[in-house]
Amino acid sequence: MIDTHAHLDFKQFDQDRSKVIDYAFSNGVEKIINIGVDLESSKGSVKLAQEHDRIYATVGFHPHDAKSLTEESLKRIADLAKHKKVAAIGEIGLDFYRDLSPREDQASAFRKQIDLAKDLGLPLVVHVREAWEQALTILRETEASEVGGVLHSFSGNLEQAKTAQDMGFYLGLNGTLTYPNSRTQSVAREVSLDTIVVETDCPFLSPIPHRGKRNQPAYVRLVLEKLSGLLHPLTFQDVERITTLNACRLFGLNHGFAGRIAYPIRDSLYLNITNQCSNACLFCVRNRTDFVKGHNLRLDHEPTYREVIDSINHANSYREVVFCGYGEPTIRLDLLKEVAQHLKRKNVEVRLNTNGQGNLIHKRNIVPELVGLIDTVSISLNVDDDEKYERLCQPRFGDNAFGQVVAFARESKRLLPRTILTVLDMPEVDLKKCEKLSRELGVELRIRDYNKVG
Ligand code: SF4
Ligand SMILES: [Zn+2]
């Protein structure tokens, strides 16, 4: 887990700073981003980052201190920002709640520092309080989406959250999420988790049960616990992993996310046994990212049987094990069968997620070979006719594919315990027609949001 917003250089930590830092790192915090609020604290932030491997710094003038930003101090910030452990410009923004600097000074300091971030190619750490519309307007006008960043301690509404996300900004959630009646709870449930990071804003905003006392980076765990509770059935580990990846992407931090063969999400274990596919779907997640729910699925080679088996731990502790991943599992049919055999010997429930082209790929009916090995087959039919299938899925087998996928579903229904067809919820797909087809085949139908993967 990463605390993406801490003020460890503040005087509240003068007595025990190194103890607080050690405590965080020995309790699961992997990295801390320490945030500058003026010239002095930006220097302090860089100093902390120099002293500690896993602390990174940001530099900038907080809206409270906007009135003291001069040409000279802006130049000093620019010099500090060149340090290799400076990960962002911030915190900058607008605070019309406390109004500690005149509003025009706040807006002008905000704009100047966005320009600086764009010059340096650094993301922004943005503080906004009671000035959401004004802040979003400035971010739009300055084309801040070029560098993106985080709206820290997010307290806006859902619409503002979505606007910010569309502009490439992450939302920083902290201890306020644990407070009763926090509006951010419903925002957190609605927005994509791929754009959320967690923070403490220590020494302020302690999460419950430490509310009112000094906050510290180790308490970021309490924010994650609250967030994963809100996002159930995602687990704490799911939410921790995804938000850590988000923070690394946001601040350009290297975290060594190696390609995964076995990867848990919720209470299932997924197996990524190939990166090859016989389709080239226009909507495929592989066109956009290497990551699904915080797991890197881009493999540097096709895994061997041994590698797959070694990647599976405690198969019995999952509800099911699913052949899925970043490609079409039946392309590796022999490996799939061997691994499934190994799992069935342990009485594990096994599912195959497939594009239904196994028979085309192997030029024979492979379904009988899956009997006793696969309990559930989930087939991505995606659309309702062959013209749409060819256009959207671009199968290697051309206009032969759609009919063969349907035939695969029919055969699977005949021989295997459970068959599910999945189709995409998009305007051009005729869901009524899909329902009719699944009724005829006697299989279950699942309608899938093509934007949501994993
Ligand atoms: S079938 Fe699945 S893995 Fe293959 S291209 Fe389509 S969406 Fe991607
Ligand atoms: Zn702050």
Question: Any idea which residue has 């965080």 for tokens?
Answer: 24
DSSP-based helix, strand, coil % in the chain, nearest 5:
45, 20, 35
Residue 288 has pLDDT above 80, yes or no: yes
What are the structure tokens assigned to 314, written together? 């405690």
Q: What is the pLDDT of residue 310?
A: 82
Residue 416 has pLDDT above 80, yes or no: yes
pLDDT band at residue 160 under the 50/70/90 scheme: very high
Predicted TM-score (pTM) of this structure: 0.81
Residue 256 has pLDDT above 90, yes or no: no
Residue 254 has pLDDT above 80, yes or no: no
Query: Cα–Cα–Cα angle for 247, 250, 252, nearest 5°?
Result: 95
Q: Which positions ≥6 away from 90 have C-beta within 8 Å?
A: 35, 36, 58, 59, 60, 113, 124, 125, 126, 127, 149, 152
Q: Do residues 216 and 3 make contact, with C-beta atoms less than 8 angstroms apart?
A: no
Q: Give the Å distance between the CA of 115 and the centre of ligand 1.
A: 40
Q: What is the pLDDT of residue 430?
A: 96
What are the structure tokens assigned to 347, written together? 């009485």
Residue 129 has pLDDT above 80, yes or no: yes
Query: Which of 270, 279, 380 for mutating ligand 1's site (highest number of atoms within 8 Å of CB)?
Result: 279
Q: What is the pLDDT of residue 306?
A: 85
pLDDT band at residue 269 under the 50/70/90 scheme: very high
Around ligand 1, the residues with Cβ closer than 6 Å are 277, 279-281, 284, 286, 327-328, 355, 380, 393
Q: Give the Å distance between the CA of 60 and the centre of ligand 2.
A: 11
What is the percent of the chain where pLDDT is above 90? 87
Query: Which of 270, 271, 275, 277 for mutating ligand 1's site (highest number of atoms within 8 Å of CB)?
Result: 277
Give the ligand 1 atom nearest the CA of 327: 3
CA dihedral 238, 244, 246, 252 (to 10 degrees): -150
Q: What is the pLDDT of residue 181?
A: 85
State which H helix or E strand residue 107 sits in.
helix 103-120
Q: Give the Å distance between the CA of 92 and the centre of ligand 2.
A: 9
Give the residue from 403, 421, 396 showing the smallest Cα distance to 281: 396
Q: Do residues 77 and 39 make contact, with C-beta atoms less than 8 angstroms apart?
A: yes
Q: What is the pLDDT of residue 325?
A: 78
Question: Hey, whose CA ends up nearest to atom 3 of ligand 1?
Answer: 327
Buried b (16+ CB within 10 A) or exposed e, 109-119: bbbbbbebbbe
Question: Any idea which residue has 């199968």 for tokens?
Answer: 395
State yes or no: cis peptide before 303, omega within 30 of 0.
no
How far apart, in whole angstroms, are the C-alpha atoms of residue 450 and residue 453? 7
Helices (H), 121-210: 132-141, 158-166, 184-190
Q: Do residues 146 and 152 make contact, with C-beta atoms less than 8 angstroms apart?
A: no
Q: Give the Å distance between the CA of 104 and the centre of ligand 1.
A: 51
Q: Give the Å distance between the CA of 303 and the centre of ligand 2.
A: 45
pLDDT band at residue 50 under the 50/70/90 scheme: very high
* DSSP code for 430: -
The closest ligand to the CA of 331 turns out to be 1
Q: What is the pLDDT of residue 258?
A: 79
Give the length of the chain.
454
Buried b (16+ CB within 10 A) or exposed e, 389-402: bbebbebeeeeebb
Q: What is the pLDDT of residue 392?
A: 95
Q: Give the Å distance between the CA of 346 and the centre of ligand 1.
A: 29
Residue 451 has pLDDT above 90, yes or no: no
Give the ligand 1 atom nearest the CA of 393: 6
pLDDT band at residue 450 under the 50/70/90 scheme: confident
Residue 2 has pLDDT above 90, yes or no: yes
Average pLDDT, the chain: 95
Question: Hey, whose CA ends up nearest to atom 7 of ligand 1?
Answer: 284
pLDDT band at residue 425 under the 50/70/90 scheme: very high
Sorted by where each starts, the structural domains of the chain and their CATH numbers stand as 2-251 (3.20.20.140), 262-448 (3.20.20.70)
Q: What is the pLDDT of residue 252?
A: 87
Q: What is the pLDDT of residue 198?
A: 98
Maximum CA pair distance of the chain? Answer: 77
pLDDT, tens digit (0-9, with 9 covering 90-100), for 3-22: 999 999 999 999 999 999 99
